[in-house]
Amino acid sequence: PPPSSGARPGAALLSGSTATTARARRRDVARKFTVRPAGEDPLALPRVELPSLRDLVMDDPRPPSRGQTCGREGCDEIVGAPYAGQPALSRGYCPRCRHPFDFTPRLSPGDLLGDQYRVVGCVGYGGLGWVYLAEDTQLDDQPVAIKGLINNEDEAALRTAVEERRYLTVLDHPGIVRIINYVTQPDPRDGALTGYIVMEFVDGMTLAQIKDHIADAVRPYDGPRLYEHILAYGCLVLRAVGYLHGEKLLYCDLKPSNVMHHEDRVKVIDLGAVRRLGQRDGGPPVITEAFAAPEVLARGASALTERHDLFGVGRTLEELSESATRQAQRPPGLGAESYRRVLARATAADPERRVGAA
């Protein structure tokens, strides 16, 4: 079956103003962080600090600006996307199959999940679900992340959420987000039980936000150590990806928005796309077209190997490097010749010419 793109086939429906608004919000959130210079170690990263986690809470949670694929099996129609100058829709019906969709958050500030987790508010959404900041009332109000589905009517997303919970439960690596609990809560709209994954709260900036900092020459990404930092991101992400491969798992959707710079470390987040190595069932893979290997775009799940993940790592580093070339004082190109060769090999169109192991 054809792959399921995280970018979604309906991305062409987005107006320039909608994309600009999304970038503006990403930059606004990034400005709330303080980024301090790195230590002397070659793999040391700048330290990202946030004065208050509540600064991340969205005042007015909106549905995904790009829309989402219809949740009914076999239907790939984009629902909820802005069109012809109209804003994105929060709820409605698929125009093709009439399957319902509802992107509004199920949880509100003050809600208590499992008699333990008090919701503070929405902090964003991933490819499949809303992410909430909450406090563990049984552990001195320690912050946790609560992840639920954006669209409870999405059958494919429900299946993916079950897969994510299963994989997160067994993984143990400092570079991969950790699951804490799983709770259910009646939906306030219809009373149906809705499942939520409780995870460690990883406060920080995604590499998509770091990319903006690099493009805008924000300190310390305007100095001579910039390419050291980019290489450090690559090495740390490869450790996490290599761990997954050692567990016979593929990440499948490696991209800047799925990697978090947390304090002076890196965490890979959003494991909803993880699949077993060699898995052919479970529907089409969840990928993002701009970061997917050509063979996977052409043949889908049958072409998924470790080389697809490494292609995503290479494309992620390319994105960061290309942002650096927009700094006026920097010459064109990606940096040192040896670095360019590494990226060229990681992103080679022919998988046999690509790097084979993390």
In angstroms, the CA 177 to CA 164 distance is 11
In angstroms, the CA 28 to CA 24 distance is 6
Residue 12 is classified by DSSP as G
In angstroms, the CA 43 to CA 88 distance is 42
Angle at which helix 306-324 crosses helix 337-346, to 10 degrees, equals: 140
Choosing from 253, 264, 270, 281, the catalytic residue is 253
In angstroms, the CA 174 to CA 181 distance is 18
68: β partners? 79
Exposed/middle/buried for residue 193 (C-beta within 10 Å: 0-12, 13-18, 19+)? exposed
Question: Which residue in this structure is represented by tokens 């890196």?
Answer: 266
In angstroms, the CA 270 to CA 276 distance is 16
Nearest to 111 by CA among 194, 198, 188, 203: 188
Q: What six digits make up the tokens of 68?
A: 């989402």
In angstroms, the CA 348 to CA 311 distance is 8
- How many CB atoms lie under 10 A from the CB of residue 321? 21
Q: What six digits make up the tokens of 103?
A: 């992107």
Q: How far is CA 174 from each of CA 160, 200, 267, rounded to the nearest angstrom?
A: 23, 12, 7
Yes or no: say if 351 and 293 are a contact pair by the CB < 8 Å rule.
yes
Catalytic site residue 59?
no
Angle, CA 268 vertex, CA 341 and CA 250 arms, to 5°: 75
Strands 265-268 and 259-262, bridge-based pairing = antiparallel
Question: For residues 232-249, b (16+ Cβ closer than 10 Å) or e, as one string?
Answer: bbbebbbbbbbbbbebeb
Residues classed as catalytic: 253
